[in-house]
A and B are shown apart, each in its own frame.
Chain A
Amino acid sequence: MADTLDLQDIQGLIIRSYGNLRAACYILLEISDPRLAKMWLSTLANVITNGQARPEEKALNVAFTNSGIKRLGLEPAEYGFSDEFITGIATAHRSLLLGDIEESSPARWIWGGPGTKQIDMVLMMFAKDDHELSDMYEAYAKEFADNNGLVEVLKLDTVDLGDKEHFGFNDGISQPVIEGSGRTASSMHTIKAGEFLLGYPNEYGLYTDRPMLKPAMDPEGLLPHDSSGSGDKDLGRNGSYLVFRQLRQDVRGFWQFLDQATKKSDGSSDPTASVKLAAQMVGRWRSGAPLLETPERDDPRPQLVKANDFTYYQTDPYGFKCPIGAHIRRANPRDSLDPQPGTEQSIAIGKRHRILRRGREYGPPVDTAGRTQGHAAMGGDKPTPLQDEDRGLHFLCLNANISRQFEFIQHTWVNNPHFNGLYDDADPIVGAHYADGSMFTIQAKPVRKRLTDLPRFVSVVGGAYFFMPGIRAIRYLASV
């Protein structure tokens, strides 16, 4: 039996995306003086947004890397932090596993890589508008300048594109619902709290490994007891692991590729075909309507745009509506998994590989109206030329077991050229398109169509694994 969520102790970002707070930025920090930083942190703990009430004006959350926990005075390897967190996102083996090679290699990252400054923590700020956000940031920037033991390494800004991401698609539609959080969803999307929150039973009915301390290490009694009954103090409870990856999107390359791939026999562009091909690669139309429900054309009716209770194998076992390799079909295969696709058992297996996505876009949007055929205006009125500035997604996701959740999804589903019986097809949108993964197969009658030599449209330019503690755990860390 899952105990009720301790919303006052859980950081708000785990519970909600703050969709009403349209402005956000992430401050990557180095702890230069642990003693001062801890004093600062103990004050911060009082203003961190918890999961109880939806904030209307602004929100603030915080998370730490392995080196951050170390600087605060705890050796992560000794207290049961996960191996992925301790060794970090940028190890050689992990780069292979995650497809972070060549242009996405950590050696080229602008943050989080071996050649960049150490990141100890991230402060995440959300506000209802840019004005509010900049006030908020200025206040903290002053504190950092004021010798509080923290140095700003990098400030990552975000941009509000409404519900769209840079390629022009509605994003973030499918999210798991945490069981016990008060929200409801179909059973396929209702996931045990322990998959996202440490200290609660997970989809196996077990407690995921988490940092734990002997009672003697918590003389002030700041931490809750281990609810699985070991007698230890639970530093992990109400916390989660945060995966943060800065993904650069080559919007121009994406639409140019689609334009080329759908040229008519007379050499002219076919905008309708290139939008359709893009939708087949994503698995949803730009409005968000899933191809499974409307395979031929976009249909922005509200019930379709938010549709999320569909399954694949039951309705479209061969991929004739939504290609087997489409981004959303592989990021969450729902009922398509072996050994018995189309069954509850298949769905149950998939439920052990879910993540809470909390990403936001960055960089100026590209308005390609009048320039690149096939990509209609994303809101701007006047056609402006394609720009080369950096743009993409700050991909953030939360999970209790990075290896079984985020890394599994990335390696076994998204980046796997052999996903679900395919041969050479990594994810057409976000995949690493190298020797083995550069094809996209569109299942069709009488026979499949196939695109070859897909370039890489999304590359990784920064990233780190963080631990997002419960609020009592932050107080504890500030007291170490």
Chain B
Amino acid sequence: MTHQVALTIITKIKPGETEDIKRLLKAMSSNVAQNDVIPFGKFSTIHFARLMVLEESRDLKGVVIPPSLVFIGECDAPLDRLLHELVDLAGEGLDKIYCHCEGYPTEGEITHARRLAYLRAGMIKVPAFYVNTVGRTVEQILQEAQLRDAIQDFLDDSQQDWSGHSSLDVRAKIQAYVCNKQTLSWARKLPAQPSLSFKLKETLHLVGVPLLLLVLLPVLILALPIWLLLLRIHELSDTARDIKPDAAHVQELAALEDFGAQNQFSAIGYIKPGWFRLLIVLGVFMAIDYGVRHIFNKEDLAGVKTIHFARWIVIDGYRRAIFASNYDGSLESYMDDFIDKIAWGLNASFSNGVDYPRTNWLIFDGAKDEQAFKNYIRVHQIPTQVWYSAYDRLTALNIANNARIRLGLFRNMSETEAEEWLRLL
């Protein structure tokens, strides 16, 4: 199956063992792909993965939330196969991690099935999951990068001066080169598509949600003025303190950033108290879910083309929300994209968090308060202790371009079309 799924496992850390886990994670992070705990590079269906500790925290009423460990993966379906692989290839590594968590079987009683059951028990649902391009697998991304590299090297190595040639001629030479390379034989076929059952499910969702809304329309219309009134009351009375991030906190986060083309982002925050905000959160997550599945499902999240994956989840009995993403470039450019291009979307989802910059009518202002927004982001960001990318030298734009090179390689083309195709190189 070629569509993507979101793995999220959250487990409570045993009292006093947070530092042990952090030490282990730190050791893993020095060689994420090949470490001996979970060698992420051995899993052919993992795009990105991360492990991070949620420190002990006090909720808005002062109730203590004990520390927990979050394991996140962005993977190719089916999820169940990955869980099996994890236990098969990294069973003992999982023991090393999860022996510090509540409820993990003790040493004598560990079995394959119990490990699997533990992971399953810790899994939580992801209400909204953005995938840059639905259906593009790790294998496809790596293969297409290999194809582009091979074509580029061919163009360099052939020592040809191509300037006198027609586009169709250059293209024919490239095709001949690819045909001659056994390792690129897969490129003669088109990439695999998501399964029929997946497509059917998505189509049902595409049509079903608007139909349901249509049925509910009379109720919604009646509720709208009340909802707007309540929204304004909340927006005008909610606190919106501009809290500066602590210098040591920023330093800790920055030390984990900008090693390559991509970066990770993880943030957590309390949802504003009361049923009204919670209702908005759930509604907005449903809207995001619909948007990313049916509208923003190919290379572009409402104008932002640098995000590989993003997810929104609710934890701790609807008290806190987590946002986690993988993006290209620096945090500064990421935040600027948020402000310049999709402030409305950020506002709708994040403004239900405590002390988000003041919004108007849910989608206006908010993130447009540049520095207050950037402060909010840094204050709520948490360190991602372990982070893995299967293709850390490729940006989302590179991946999209590679896919286009492959799609057009053996298609029939006119001279003009061939000229356009060669521009991808």
Contact = CB atoms under 8 A, between A and B. Distances in A.
B303 interface: yes
A83 interface: yes
B44 interface: no
Contact of A411 (B258, B370, B419, B423): B258
Contact of A446 (B305, B401, B419): B419
A42 interface: no
B336 A452 contact: no
Interface string B367-408: 011110000000000000000000001010110010000000
Nearest to A77: B247
Contact of B305 (A339, A407, A452): A339
B257 A93 contact: yes
A156 interface: no
Given A339-B303, A411-B332, A450-B152, A436 B260 contact: yes
A447 interface: yes
A208 interface: yes
Contacts of A416: 329
Contacts of B196: none
A417 B371 CA distance: 28
Interface in B306-354: 328-330, 332-333, 336, 339-341
Given A97-B330, A446-B162, A446-B422, A352 B155 contact: no
B413 interface: no
Interface residues of B, number: 47
A349 B336 CA distance: 9
B330 A411 contact: yes
| SS of A interface (majority) | loop
B211 interface: no
B255 A447 contact: no
Interface string B216-250: 00000000000000000000000000000001001
B340 A92 contact: no
B190 interface: no
A431 B260 CA distance: 15
A417 B261 contact: yes
A181 B401 CA distance: 44
A87 B246 CA distance: 13
Contact of B397 (A421, A443, A448): A421
A412 B332 contact: yes
A418 B261 contact: yes
B258 A452 contact: no
Contacts, number: 102
A421 B423 CA distance: 12
Contacts of B109: none
Nearest to A204: B370
B162 A447 contact: yes
B254 interface: yes
Contacts of A96: 258-259
Given A83-B247, A404-B332, A444 B341 contact: no
A86 interface: yes
Interface stretch (B116-124, B165-173, B178-186): B165-173
Contact of A418 (B152, B162, B303, B398): B398
A93 B255 contact: yes
Contacts of A91: 251, 254
A382 interface: no
B156 interface: yes
Contacts of B156: 450, 452
Interface size class of A (residues with CB under 8 A): 35 or more
Contacts of A447: 155, 162, 167, 170, 422, 425
A404 B336 contact: yes
B371 A412 contact: no
A446 B247 contact: no
B412 interface: no
B414 interface: no
B371 A206 contact: yes
A446 B167 contact: yes
Interface in A36-71: none
Contact of B255 (A92, A407, A448): A92
A143 interface: no
A135 interface: no
Contacts of B165: 446
B395 to A, nearest CB: 4
A32 to B, nearest CB: 27
Nearest to B328: A418
Contact of B371 (A97, A209, A452): A209
Contact of B369 (A206, A338, A445, A452): A206
A91 B341 CA distance: 31
A339 B337 CA distance: 10
Contacts of A418: 261, 328, 395, 397-398
Interface in A204-223: 204, 206, 208-209
A268 B177 CA distance: 31
B329 A412 contact: yes
A338 B305 contact: yes
A208 B370 CA distance: 9
B304 interface: yes
Nearest to A413: B333
Contacts of A340: 303
Report which residue of A77, A83, A340 has the largest number of chain B beta carbons within 10 angstroms of its beta carbon: A83
B155 A450 contact: yes
A318 to B, nearest CB: 6
A346 to B, nearest CB: 10
Contacts of B258: 93, 96-97, 411
Contact of B167 (A339, A352, A445): A445
A421 B401 contact: yes
Contacts of B251: 87, 91, 93
B253 to A, nearest CB: 9
A296 B169 CA distance: 25
Contacts of A204: 339, 368, 370
Given A87-B251, A417-B261, 11 more contacts: A77-B247, A93-B254, A206-B369, A338-B341, A339-B300, A411-B329, A436-B393, A443-B423, A445-B167, A446-B165, A446-B170
20 contacts: A91-B251, A97-B258, A204-B339, A206-B370, A206-B371, A339-B305, A349-B336, A408-B336, A411-B258, A411-B332, A412-B333, A418-B398, A421-B401, A436-B260, A436-B261, A446-B162, A446-B163, A446-B166, A446-B167, A447-B167
Interface of A: 77, 83, 86-87, 91-93, 96-97, 204, 206, 208-209, 318, 338-340, 349, 352, 403-404, 407-408, 411-412, 416-418, 421, 423, 436, 443-448, 450, 452
| Top 3 A-B pairs, shortest CB-CB distance | A339-B303, A93-B254, A412-B333
